[in-house]
Structure 1
Amino acid sequence: MADKAPCTHSSKKWTRHYAPYTRQLQSKNSRVRLMFNSVLSKTIAAGLPAEYALIPFIESHYKPSARSALGPAGLWQFTAPTARNHGLKVSGKQDERMNAIRSTDAAIKYLRYLHRKFKGDEATVLMAFNAGEGRLLASRRKSGRRLSGITHAYPDKVTAVACNLVRQGY
């Protein structure tokens, strides 16, 4: 994961916030640990930075059944349009955002796309994943919308989760 140098500057607020969720990895047979290891393996196999496997800690605390009151759902908290754009079925009868395997495959595909599009700039990829690629690009235009504080803090959150894992010896 992260080396120790960025951890000296990681946000104490986010480090504390995510600590209970990353501690779930300490139990060898925990559901979170098994899912995280699977997501991490798929992330690395796709040639992506391992830190991208930390996104579900931020999005859903690694709960595949998580639902936001604002509409996003699943491990990766995809909106319905984003999920459909990446091959997931979202309808009244079926919502593949709640399927950890299918949604992870879609997330890896989306992250690979973003990683190529933004030339491997991890902070930009993370913010695009959070806000949406269109919103990020619009924010870069002179008259574009500003990104939320949540989106700006997203890379710091990922660093905080990575630092928790380093401190826990994971």
Structure 2
Amino acid sequence: MRKVTGSLLAAVALVALPHMALAQRRAAGGGGGGAKNEFGVDLGAAFGHVGSGCTASCGTFEAGTPVDLRVGFIGRSFNVEPRLSFSYLSQGGGHIMVFNPDVNFLKPMGTNTSRKGLYLTGGAGISIISASGVSSENQFSLNGGVGTRIPKPNTNWRLEGFLRYNFESGALPSGYNVGVRAGMSFWQ
């Protein structure tokens, strides 16, 4: 229980950090203006491969539902984007729950902006995994990708390809995921 509570506190801190930094920047600038926020929801699909300790079928395939939420804090040269995803699977009286808080940095490429065009992304996250009959585990990961924003009035479509490496942790083996995300962004 301490491990889950500590992980949740770390996740809240990761999500709050960019907002606190934005508040500091606005206060230093002396005005209430500044960057707008990007709110988004994504669908995703990924192929995964389990690395260390795998002796049989080591490949997986996942498809995500719209429980993948993100908030982008727009900066001058890059965006800070906390992302939360949640999945819950119940079968045969047991369950597995996975909560993933991530923080990514998005860098527009060339003459593109925070609202349109090509971008590169990279970041870190933690997976908090709980299953029936076993203690919860945490797994640290690094990720990177390339994507594009397709502008529409008051929204953007986002398409992104990504690679995620999951480090070995306790009973959880290392592994990687290669996937795509498609989603919508709303500006406030």
What TM-score does the superposition give when structure 2 sets the normalisation length? 0.25
Structure having the higher Rg: 2
Greater helix share, structure number = 1
More contact order relative to length (CA 8 Å, sep ≥ 6)? 1
Greater strand share, structure number = 2
